[in-house]
Amino acid sequence: MVGQGRPACGRTATLAAAFVLAALPASLAAQETADCLACHGERGFTTVRKGRTVSLYVPEKAYTASIHGSLACISCHTDVEGMEGGHEAPLKKVDCAACHEAETKQHAASLHGKAMKRGDSLAPTCAACHGIHDIRAAKDPASPVSPLKVPFTCGKCHQEGTVVMRQRNIHQDHILENYSESIHGEGLLKKGLIVAANCASCHTAHNILSHTDPASSIARGNIARTCTACHAQIEVVHRKVIKGELWEKEAHVLPACIDCHQPHRVRKVFYTQGMADADCLKCHQEKALRAKDGRTLFVDEREHQASRHAKVACSQCHSGVNVSFRRPCESITTKVDCGACHTEIAQQYARSQHGKLLLDGDPNAPSCKECHGTHGTLGRLQGSSPTFATNIPRLCARCHREGEKAAVRYKGPEHGIIEAYTESIHGKGLLKSGLTVTATCTGCHTAHGVLPRTDPASSVNRANVPETCGRCHHGIQEQFQQSVHYEMLGKTDKQLPVCDDCHSAHTIRRADADGFKLDIMQKCGRCHGEIARTYFDTYHGKVSQLGYTKTAKCYDCHGAHDIQKITDPRSHLSRQNVVATCQKCHPGATRRFAGYLSHATHHDPGKYPWLFWTFWGMTGLLVGTFVISGTHTLLWLPRALKMRRELREAEEAEQRELEKHEWAHPASPAGADRGASGPTPGGPGPEGRG
Amino acid sequence: MEGGVTGRAFQFQRFTRLNRALHVLLIVSFIALAVTGMSLKFSYTSWAAFLSRRLGGFESAGFIHRAAATLMFGLFVTHLWDVNRQRKREHGGSLLKLLLGPDSMLFNRRDLRELVATLKWFVGAGPRPRYGRWTYWEKFDYFAVFWGIFVIGSTGLMLWFPVFFTRLLPGWLINVATIIHSDEALLATGFIFTVHFFNTHLRPEKFPMDTVVFTGRMPVAEFKRDKPAEFEALVASGKLEENLVEPYQPVVIRTIRGFAWTALTIGTLMVLWIVYAMVFAYR
């Protein structure tokens, strides 16, 4: 009956023991529980040990109600076996390990077990927590190890005033008190949520170890795992960049749960930052505080409170603090790693030119704080942040202005970048019109992935420029990507233009400004040299060359971003579209009108024989006329000079004559004013006098 | 030397009031056309851009160009009307007399003889020919204007109204018209501002200028020297006195000289500019 009557026990060890017991000889079955209770069932059954009266009473009711109630006494008190009709000697201590081997082993290795081994009289045994004959299942609310009871069970020793707390080295204080006020304690004790964490949830039941023991559930490296047992996806709600994996694998770089949420004080309100920060500020609010090398260690808490990280505790960035030290920061060995939270950005930065320089130990390399500051770091949408759109040019200019440390090492073609940008359409939009959506330095170069143009991964690499510009100018990008300049990529050896070849990089002007409109023809002409030259031989070209934008320029006919070969049906100059294109400026234009040669040259007899021969015909006429008339004139010149001389001489002769005449007849009215020698006409003389 | 300036001697009237007015308008319109047109033709020089700006931009320059063209066409028509009037008044309505008479502008055998004689005179193989009312080079200049108005005017109209003309003509003819218009205009300006200037103003015995086309009158002695054949014919027919008038007041002469000097200066500057553009800046 003994063998068969036991209820099934969940534990493997128990089960194994049950089979052993079942195989015992029949004689054993003779010792019934009733036999034992015959004596031990009596309330007054006592004995005297070491001069003290000790009760040997086993309350039958409690025993039968216990989880072991269906077991015979000898199942645990194995040394009673064979002692017919009572026993004299005291029984050995019951060894729970016979059934609960794993738990016992864990316990033996735990702080409690080690203390017991040392002979510490305060060390808890199995019975200290679980009871003796009245042991209940942990699920049983009446059990001292049921979730609701655990804090009290542990609290028997671990609360203020106990011998354990007074005499043993326990780091925490007011444990039970703090716990009962924490969100866990409140949930459990006041709301009866038995899923709320109790002592054993974090410390385990049997495997209780010091937090310094790497195997401990509360060791720094294991805390995340311990907490996430319940708070399964806490990293999601905490901070998207903290990956649970990293939290567990690289606990040293990341703040552990308890860095913010102090053990036993886990509040339901968000952790009061001021509490922990106040500890740090005890020293660091001193303005005079300096490191050995003279750096100031003063932290302006007001600045921090106004910053983006106001809700972030000191220890979240300055990780590695150890609260066990009087100066918890003593244990800090590494610099602040922003990448702990801003992982993706840090990875991008590490690949960037700035990051590479930093890795190479270049003293000029900007780290996070060069741009973002330290304790006062602000979000890029806050107007006073150096990374706010309108401040970015000034920020980058600190190094990239001509003559500054980044500009002097730059060997490329872009110079006066900051000044040029300021005058550009983007710069004016940003700085004069205050349009924060305008492209800033980072708009094109990215904030953290800055790379030289030559790097294929750079946002301003030729191959990536359309996409970079297209982030704002998306419609244009779509057009451009259907143009011959894009579709021919990979089909030609020639370098195809991207946005900045026509628009420039830092001197971008409004496309509807005259300067740009005129300049663009030079830009087209850089590749399409011949066609641009012949354009300038036409009316359109000549007017453009004079500096006016009203006549057709390259893009007026060919389109700008959607430019196509004229043989392409999509082209503005394809057979279907050309007349409509001419009609934009010449209403009423016909197909014949479109036959105008807008790139005609009179130097190509094969292609344009009419123009060629007309030009040479006209030139022949011109040269011929000038040669003939020029010769005529040159031949005339010496005769004409001779004539002039003769005229002069005759004039002088007449003058002399006249003077003589006047001297002789001073009153004579002279008709000499004719001014020419030779015979004067008869009649008019006298009438001519005034 | 110019009789009219200091004295009150009668002068020979060579040109009518209308002739003179038309020539002044011709100068004004021609210079306007030349300046605006060349600023486009030589648009690759900084001079052209400067001029275009001064003229109020290419559209304004274009307007001036077309207005001047219209003016020139108008005075051309007026001249034809005047010639027709002459036909009625002086030649009894006979076209033949107008065209073949001694004062005709058409080239004739006499011009050929005078050309040969002139060339002989140039090389010292003969005396200066006794020119009549119109010398052959004057006739050449006169018909150059006819030719120019026809060639430049017709191509100019094509460029002015390309949409209209390409209803009938192929589009590339506009390109041909551009070349003809532009090169003929170059010829015209080049010729007027060099050869014509020399023949009438700069040749030493007239230097620095002959104002007869503006005043319409010239000292009789100079007339006799320049056109002995005409002088003698007039004296012989007794018609000389009909053509004698008083000289202008000095202030009128000064004004005329001011205008002539301006035209002469603009023309000379344009020649220099064209030479610069063609020789040093050509592309």
In tens, the pLDDT along A540-578 reads 999 999 989 999 999 999 999 999 999 999 999 999 999
SS3 assignment, position A260: helix
Question: Which residue in A191, A196, A271 sits closest to A231, CA to CA?
Answer: A196
Contact B221 A536 (CB under 8 A): no
User: Chain centroid to CA B256: how far?
Assistant: 16
**Rounded CA Rg of chain B:** 21
Give the residue from A598, A610, A618 with the most B CB atoms within 10 Å of its CB, the best one to mutate.
Answer: A618
Are A52 and A76 members of one domain?
A: yes
Are A350 and A454 members of one domain?
A: yes
Confidence at A633, pLDDT banded by 50, 70, 90? very high
How far does A546 lie from chain B, in Å, by closest CA? 5
Looking at residue A138, its pLDDT comes to: 86
Report phi then psi at A463, rounded to 5: -70, -25
| Measured distance CA(B102)–CA(B123) in Å, rounded | 28
Q: Is residue A153 part of a domain?
A: no
| Other residues' Cβ atoms within 10 Å of the Cβ of residue A683 | 14
Looking at residue A246, its pLDDT comes to: 59
Q: Is residue A615 part of a domain?
A: yes
Give the residue from A537, A582, A602, A639 with the most B CB atoms within 10 Å of its CB, the best one to mutate.
Answer: A639
Average pLDDT, integer, range A361-379: 92
What one-character DSSP code corresponds to residue A46? E
> Which residues are CB-contacts of A392 (< 8 A; sequence separation ≥ 6)?
A386, A440, A441, A442
- Give the number of beta-carbon pairs within 8 Å between A and B: 195
Kindly report which listed range (A328-342, A471-485, B230-244) carries the lowest average pLDDT score. A328-342
Contact B171 A685 (CB under 8 A): no
Average pLDDT, integer, range B115-140: 93
In the predicted model, is pLDDT for residue B138 greater than 60? yes
Which domains, ranges and CATH numbers included, belong to chain B?
Answer: 1-16+216-248 (no CATH), 17-101+135-215+249-280 (1.20.950)
| Measured distance CA(A326)–CA(A333) in Å, rounded | 16
Contact B176 A611 (CB under 8 A): yes
In the predicted model, is pLDDT for residue B162 greater than 80? yes
**B205: chain A residues, CB-CB within 8 Å:** 640, 643-644, 647
Q: Which residues share a beta bridge with B6?
A: none
Number of domains in chain A: 4
Are A350 and A457 members of one domain?
A: yes
Are A3 and A38 members of one domain?
A: yes
What one-character DSSP code corresponds to residue A13? H
Q: Which residues share a beta bridge with A232?
A: none
Are A45 and A15 members of one domain?
A: yes
Looking at residue A29, its pLDDT comes to: 42
Residue from the list B39, B175, B240 with its beta carbon closest to the beta carbon of A600 = B175
Looking at residue A20, its pLDDT comes to: 42
Question: Which residue in A574, A521, A582 sits closest to B174, CA to CA?
Answer: A582
Residue from the list B41, B171, B225 with its beta carbon closest to the beta carbon of A676 = B225
Confidence at A669, pLDDT banded by 50, 70, 90? very low
> Which residues are CB-contacts of B126 (< 8 A; sequence separation ≥ 6)?
B117, B120
Q: Strand B11-13 relative to strand B244-245: parallel, antiparallel, unpaired?
A: antiparallel
In the predicted model, is pLDDT for residue B6 greater than 60? no
Looking at residue A60, its pLDDT comes to: 85
Residue from the list B121, B190, B225 with its beta carbon closest to the beta carbon of A678 = B225
Are A544 and A447 members of one domain?
A: no
- Which range, A29-33, A117-121, A579-583, A658-662, has the best average confidence (pLDDT)? A579-583
- Distance set, CA B66 to CA B56, B89, B274 (Å): 15, 34, 21
**B10: chain A residues, CB-CB within 8 Å:** 684, 687-688
Average pLDDT, integer, range A139-167: 87
Question: Which residue in A285, A269, A267 sits closest to A277, CA to CA?
Answer: A285
Q: Which residues share a beta bridge with B218?
A: B12
Are A621 and A586 members of one domain?
A: no
| Measured distance CA(B191)–CA(B27) in Å, rounded | 14
Q: Is residue A115 part of a domain?
A: no
A404 touches chain B (CB under 8 A): no
DSSP codes, A310-335: TTS-HHHHS----TTSSSGGGG--S-
| Measured distance CA(B179)–CA(B184) in Å, rounded | 8
**A5 contacts A34 by C-beta, under 8 angstroms:** no
- State the residue range of the domain holding A630: 601-642
Q: Is residue A40 part of a domain?
A: yes
More confident residue, A250 or A169: A169
Q: Which chain A residues in 279-298 lie under 8 Å from chain B, judged by CB atoms?
A: none
Question: Which residue in B273, B281, B239 sits closest to B47, CA to CA?
Answer: B273
Residue from the list A533, A547, A678 with its beta carbon closest to the beta carbon of B49 = A547
Half-sphere exposure of A511 (CA within 13 A, CB side): 10
Q: Is residue A296 part of a domain?
A: no
| Measured distance CA(A153)–CA(B25) in Å, rounded | 124
Contact A597 B184 (CB under 8 A): no
Confidence at A257, pLDDT banded by 50, 70, 90? confident
In the predicted model, is pLDDT for residue A37 greater than 60? yes
Where a domain ends, among A590, A624, A653?
A590
Question: Which residue in A489, A485, A513 sits closest to A499, CA to CA?
Answer: A485
Q: What is the pTM of this model?
A: 0.66
Question: Which residue in B124, B7, B22, B127 sits closest to B81, CA to CA?
Answer: B22
Give the residue from B8, B59, B122, B193 with the most A CB atoms within 10 Å of its CB, the best one to mutate.
Answer: B122
A90 touches chain B (CB under 8 A): no
Where a domain ends, among A428, A461, A494?
A461
> Which residues are CB-contacts of A381 (< 8 A; sequence separation ≥ 6)?
A388
Give the residue from B167, B205, B224, B239 with the most A CB atoms within 10 Å of its CB, the best one to mutate.
Answer: B205
Looking at residue A10, its pLDDT comes to: 41
**B175: chain A residues, CB-CB within 8 Å:** 538, 596-597, 600, 608, 610-611
| Measured distance CA(A543)–CA(A536) in Å, rounded | 9
Contact A626 B191 (CB under 8 A): yes
Looking at residue A462, its pLDDT comes to: 92
Q: What is the pLDDT of residues A445-464, one digit of tens each?
A: 999 999 999 999 999 999 99
Report the run of H or E that residue A6 belongs to, with start and end.
Answer: none
More confident residue, B77 or A182: B77
A401 touches chain B (CB under 8 A): no
Residue from the list B1, B121, B163 with its beta carbon closest to the beta carbon of A588 = B163
pLDDT > 70: percent of chain A: 85
Q: Is residue A275 part of a domain?
A: no
In this structure, the dihedral spanned by the alpha carbons of residues A414, A420, A421 and A425, taken in order and rounded to 10 degrees, is -120
A615 touches chain B (CB under 8 A): yes
Kindly report which listed range (A5-14, A40-49, A223-232) carries the lowest average pLDDT score. A5-14
Kindly report which listed range (A83-92, B162-171, B184-193) carries the lowest average pLDDT score. A83-92
Looking at residue B139, its pLDDT comes to: 93
Are A516 and A448 members of one domain?
A: no
Confidence at A34, pLDDT banded by 50, 70, 90? confident
A634 touches chain B (CB under 8 A): no
Q: Which residues share a beta bridge with B217?
A: B13
Q: Is residue A617 part of a domain?
A: yes
- Distance set, CA A622 to CA A602, B178, B188, B269 (Å): 16, 16, 9, 20
Length of chain A (residues)? 690
**A590 contacts A579 by C-beta, under 8 angstroms:** yes
Are A354 and A457 members of one domain?
A: yes
Report phi then psi at B13, rounded to 5: -90, 115
- Distance set, CA A139 to CA A144, A148, A202, B150 (Å): 10, 10, 18, 119
Looking at residue A251, its pLDDT comes to: 58
Looking at residue A513, its pLDDT comes to: 83
DSSP codes, chain B: --HHHHS---EEE-S-HHHHHHHHHHHHHHHHHHHHHHHHHTTTSHHHHHHHHHTTHHHHHHHHHHHHHHHHHHHHHHHHHHHHHHHHHHSTT-HHHHHHSTT-SS--HHHHHHHHHHHHHHTTSSPPP---SS-HHHHHHHHHHHHHHHHHHHHHHHHHSHHHHTTTS-THHHHHHHHHHHHHHHHHHHHIIIIIHIIIIISTTTTT---HHHHSEEEHHHHHHH-HHHHHHHHHHT-TGGGEEPPPPHHHHHHHHHHHHHHHHHHHHHHHHHHIIIIIS--
Q: Is residue A376 part of a domain?
A: yes
Give the residue from A522, A581, A627, A636 with the most B CB atoms within 10 Å of its CB, the best one to mutate.
Answer: A636
pLDDT > 90: percent of chain A: 37
Average pLDDT, integer, range A116-123: 87
DSSP codes, A546-603: HT--SS--HHHHH-STT---TTSTTSTTSTTTHHHHHHTTSTT--TTGGGS-TT--TT
Are A13 and A90 members of one domain?
A: yes
| Measured distance CA(A386)–CA(A375) in Å, rounded | 14
Confidence at B32, pLDDT banded by 50, 70, 90? very high
Contact B163 A593 (CB under 8 A): yes
| Measured distance CA(A19)–CA(A4) in Å, rounded | 10
Residue from the list B10, B40, B174 with its beta carbon closest to the beta carbon of A688 = B10
In the predicted model, is pLDDT for residue A31 greater than 70? no
Are A12 and A74 members of one domain?
A: yes
pLDDT > 70: percent of chain B: 97
Looking at residue A303, its pLDDT comes to: 92
Are A552 and A621 members of one domain?
A: no
Where a domain ends, among A57, A76, A94?
A94
Residue from the list B10, B59, B195 with its beta carbon closest to the beta carbon of A687 = B10
A684 touches chain B (CB under 8 A): yes
A669 touches chain B (CB under 8 A): no
